[in-house]
């Protein structure tokens, strides 16, 4: 029987390999591991294609209706998870369906018109600015709005008591320290690579650099289980698993909305939910978040008419 790699599945479906990994993570596509590599049987790929062909296309949304299923793609974040749950209880029929595939892929999906919202925290190494340098390059004619959701503490997640006495990124090159990394295209991976470059460390010198996870909590779970000594991630993930955290920087986490005639009412309703309700109080439940600029529109390239 034919066995496929995620890259081969991505090529056949004409999608990103990161999207294939997200499908595997969600359970949409069954896979098995050979060492650290994922593989998919031909019969499972055939089953998946058959299941997709039987799903009816979503009916077009009527302009002006709040009853709309918005798609969100991009970085994994606990506050975004909370927002998805909050919207579901709003009672207006609005829903947000997330796909945690990393900041870069989320932004590219928004550029291609394949999602309504991108959740991003991408550091531009040359300007040391978050998100806007990438957005200015991609979205010249498309009507978008960028909202600051929160600032987050990023750093090194280590075991309780820090038994390896890790103090900074330079310690990741020690032979007795193993890392669990985030997937390529994630904002956290971008940030770690920036720190490694500033310390003049070759990623090849970091034990475990090639081992990837797709969410902050999944990466932190490796530390909790003892299968890795450190992960680069957010303070909230460390707190949820009672792990120690070494703060290194604060980053800006933004939501990017792309407006269309079909999603205009739904996006405006979502912005109102974020800015005008008590959703902001949710930040108090998550360690390492700063709400000083919560809900602030930091960039828009369009008028109210879309």
Same domain flag for 178 and 93? yes
- The owner of tokens 């990466």 is 219
Q: Percent of the chain, pLDDT > 90?
A: 73
Same domain flag for 132 and 177? yes
SS3 letters across 224-240: HHCCCCEEEEEHHHHHH
Same domain flag for 178 and 305? yes
Same domain flag for 166 and 251? yes
Instruction: Provide the H-helix boundaries in the chain.
Output: 6-13, 17-26, 42-53, 78-88, 103-111, 132-138, 187-198, 216-225, 235-240, 264-276
Same domain flag for 234 and 258? yes
- Bridge-based pairing of strands 144-158 and 244-258 is antiparallel
Instruction: Note the pLDDT tens digit of each residue in 217-252.
Output: 999 999 999 999 999 999 999 999 999 999 999 999
Mean pLDDT of the chain: 90
50-72: average pLDDT: 57
pTM: 0.77
Task: Write down the pLDDT at residue 52.
Answer: 58
pLDDT of 4 > 80? The answer is yes
Same domain flag for 46 and 128? no
Task: Write down the pLDDT at residue 63.
Answer: 42
Task: Write down the pLDDT at residue 208.
Answer: 97
Same domain flag for 23 and 105? no
Same domain flag for 36 and 78? no
Task: Write down the pLDDT at residue 61.
Answer: 44
If one counts every other C-beta atom within 10 angstroms of the C-beta of residue 265, the result is 18
Instruction: Note the pLDDT tens digit of each residue in 249-299.
Output: 999 999 999 999 999 999 999 999 999 999 999 898 899 999 999 999 999
Contacts of 14 (CB under 8 A, 6+ apart): none
Question: Which carries the bigger pLDDT value, residue 63 or residue 172?
Answer: 172
Per the structure, how many domains does the chain have? 2
- Comparing 42-51, 54-63, 158-167, the range with the smallest average pLDDT is 54-63
Same domain flag for 66 and 43? no
Q: What is the CATH number of the domain that holds 69?
A: 3.40.190.290
pLDDT of 185 > 70? The answer is yes
Domain boundary among 37, 53, 69: 53
pLDDT of 64 > 60? The answer is no
CA distances from 299 to 70, 122, 144, 276, 294 (A): 21, 16, 8, 19, 14
Contacts of 62 (CB under 8 A, 6+ apart): none
Residue 140, helix vs strand vs coil: coil
Same domain flag for 20 and 79? no
Same domain flag for 40 and 141? no
Q: Which domain holds residue 82?
A: 61-306
Task: Write down the pLDDT at residue 56.
Answer: 41
Same domain flag for 173 and 42? no
């Amino acid at each position: 029987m034919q066995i496929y790699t995620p890259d081969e599945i991505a090529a056949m479906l004409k999608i990103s390999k990161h999207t294939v990994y997200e499908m595997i993570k969600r359970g949409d596509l069954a896979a098995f591991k050979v060492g650290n590599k994922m593989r998919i049987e031909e019969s499972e790929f055939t089953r998946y294609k058959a299941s997709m062909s039987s799903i009816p296309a979503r009916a077009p949304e009527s302009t002006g209706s709040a009853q709309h299923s918005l798609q969100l793609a991009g970085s994994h974040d606990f506050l975004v998870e909370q927002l998805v749950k909050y919207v579901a209880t709003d009672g207006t029929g609005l829903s947000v369906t997330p796909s945690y595939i990393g900041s870069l892929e989320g932004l590219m999906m928004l550029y291609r018109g394949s999602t309504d919202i991108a959740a991003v925290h991408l550091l531009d190494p040359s300007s040391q600015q978050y998100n806007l340098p990438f957005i200015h390059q991609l979205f010249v004619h498309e009507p978008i709005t960028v909202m600051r959701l929160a600032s987050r503490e990023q750093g090194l997640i280590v075991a309780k008591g820090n038994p390896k006495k890790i103090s900074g990124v330079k310690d990741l090159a020690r032979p007795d320290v193993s890392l669990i990394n985030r997937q390529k295209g994630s904002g956290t991976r971008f940030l770690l690579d920036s720190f490694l470059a500033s310390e003049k460390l070759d990623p090849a010198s970091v034990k475990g650099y090639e081992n990837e996870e797709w969410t902050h909590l999944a990466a932190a779970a490796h530390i909790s289980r003892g299968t890795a000594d450190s992960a680069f991630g957010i303070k909230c993930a460390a707190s949820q698993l009672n792990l120690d955290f070494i703060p290194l920087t604060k980053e800006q986490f933004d939501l990017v909305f792309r407006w269309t005639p079909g999603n205009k009412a739904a996006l405006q309703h979502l912005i109102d939910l974020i800015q005008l309700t008590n959703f902001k109080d949710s930040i108090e439940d998550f360690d390492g978040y700063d709400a000083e600029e919560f809900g602030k529109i930091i960039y828009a390239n369009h008028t109210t008419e879309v």
